[in-house]
Amino acid sequence: DGGITQSPKYLFRKEGQNVTLSCEQNLNHDAMYWYRQDPGQGLRLIYYSQIVNDFQKGDIAEGYSVSREKKESFPLTVTSAQKNPTAFYLCASNKGVKQPQHFGDGTRLSIL
């Protein structure tokens, strides 16, 4: 089945630690996105990538980093510089930037 796989489903971070969230898609989509959702809030864009080896900052990129070495994969690293990392993180992709985005099932990150 084609889709977007995010792992792990739950993740815990210690103080001062970097953690990496995985996002893989087998939809042959060019564009991929990372969003953050906080309780009672909409989705806010962290980073996006329209093509391999290229990515741009979204509205809340501080404290995060990404890479896009393969079309299928767009991992997100939450660095120790992100002071409030507890949130639900969603990865999305689409065929072209002007098509509906399709989402994975998310990773919930919490602080130990």
Partner 1 sequence: DQQVKQNSPSLSVQEGRISILNCDYTNSMFDYFLWYKKYPAEGPTFLISISSIKDKNEDGRFTVFLNKSAKHLSLHIVPSQPGDSAVYFCAAMDYGGSQGNLIFGKGTKLSVKP
Query: Which residues of this protein are in contact with partner 1, per CB under 8 A?
Result: 4, 6, 31, 33, 35, 40-45, 48, 50, 56, 58, 90, 92, 94, 96-106, 108
> What is the nearest approach in angstroms of partner 1 to the Cβ of residue 59?
9
Gyration radius of the chain over CA positions: 13
Alpha carbon 71 to chain centroid, angstroms: 14
Residue 47 or 78: the one with the smaller Cβ distance to partner 1 is 47
Which C-beta is closer to partner 1: that of 53 or that of 56?
56
Residue 48 CB, nearest approach to partner 1 (Å): 7
- Under 8 Å between Cβ of 47 and 64: yes
Residue identified by tokens 């970097």 is: 18
Q: How far is the CB of 16 from partner 1 (least distance, A)?
A: 28
Give me the phi and psi of 44, to 5 degrees please: -115, 135
β-strand partners of 103: 92
Q: Which two tokens stand for residue 23?
A: 């996002």
The nearer residue to partner 1, 71 or 102, going by C-beta atoms, is 102
Cα maximum dimension of the chain: 39
For the CB of residue 41, give the shortest distance to partner 1 in the complex, in Å. Answer: 6
Residue closer to partner 1, measured from CB, 19 or 92: 92
